[in-house]
Amino acid sequence: MTTQAPEAQAGAAPASPSGGDLWRAARTPVIIAVVVIIAATGLALLQGSATKGRLDPMGADHPGSRALVELLKARGVTVVAARTLADARKAATPDSTVVITRPGYFGPQGLSGLAALPGDRVLVEPTADARTALTPGITMAGPGADGPRDPKCALPAAQRAGNADVSGRLGATAPGAVTCYTDASGAGLAQYRANGRTITALANGAPLTNGSLDARGNAALGLNLLGAHRTVVWVCPLRPQPDSSAADQAKPLLQVLPSPAKLAAVQLFIAVLLVAAWRMRRLGPVVAERLPVVVRASETTEGRAGLYRARRARDRAAEALRSGVLSRVEPLLGLPPDAGPDAVATAVAGRTGRDAADVRALLYGAAPEDDSALVALADRLDTLEREVRQS
């Protein structure tokens, strides 16, 4: 029988990994994936319940309008959140106020359907098409300068509210129309009566948002404009509403997926990339190999010294000598690695009987000016370390 040489045993292929080895290798990415999935699910639930977008009646974030809705409910007003035109048709009555936000989400037929709804109408941040279909007696030239304005009109709702964050460049052509919060660029609010209903346009919806409701007269303005009737139908679609002729057209998958699902997918993709980047550093078990040559420590030291000498790096060589002495002496003196120069010099002087100033100059002084001074520094450092060890 023959015995395999140690060299052959060292070069043998590693054994197949066991189930425990596989689990230890995979448990970290598995735990990371589970944590990411849980976090993404929590964020999706929180966003789905609290973050709805700008001027959304159920939105609890800064751009939302849930705070104003709660104030209206406290006054006995019923607020119905209508996400589609069909929802608005079911809820709107002649004795209701129809508030239309995100009018750009409706096509021409959707705007025509909104125009046919009964009750008073409040159009917030109108687009050109929405203004033409829903408030034909009001003109619009674009946004005005930001900042609060005074009412400067006889409209009771605006007078009771006073100064508010209303800006815009609205105008009015309807007979008997009233414009409020005006400056040189135009009005921020316009209102007129037509066909037995009150039609209002608000150029800027900031006074209705949660983040601005408690500033100036914003809350009073929102309550006065929307609380005239016992029912408010708040039309705020969550996504663009197609016209009836395009309702049956197929939609891309990305348009069908809700925003929380898209966010969760992005988070999972980033997590996969991070795990891949982490694992790519570990390409397999370490294989022991024989070194082609054995380099003695003295040869390594002489080679580094030659490099220092060729570059005339006496400062770096002196720093390396002093750092080596400090790393070996400080533990002997009971000093921490971050001890200051004064503490080290005092401790060394107390152990060896030398002058503390001389010890500080030796351990932390200037770099040698020539090679002979560097050699002398090395000898003095060696003597100092020997004295510390022997004392």
- Answer whether residue 205 shows pLDDT above 90: no
Provide CB contacts within 8 A for 334, sequence distance 6+: 347
Summarised one tens digit per residue, pLDDT across range 360-384 is 999 998 888 888 888 898 899 999 9
Average predicted confidence (pLDDT) for the chain: 81
Half-sphere exposure of 2 (CA within 13 A, CB side): 4
Q: How far is CA 345 from CA 247, 357, 376, in A?
A: 85, 7, 20
Q: How far is CA 140 from the centre of its chain?
A: 36
Summarised one tens digit per residue, pLDDT across range 284-315 is 677 777 777 777 777 777 787 788 788 888 88
Asked if 121 contacts 200 with a C-beta cutoff of 8 angstroms, the reply is: yes
pLDDT at 107: 87
CA 171 – CA 181 distance, rounded (Å): 11
Q: What are phi and psi of 361, to 5 degrees?
A: -65, -35
Summarised one tens digit per residue, pLDDT across range 50-65 is 456 788 888 888 888 8
Quickly state the pLDDT bin for 248 (edges 50, 70, 90): very low
Instruction: Give percent above pLDDT 90 in the chain.
Output: 24
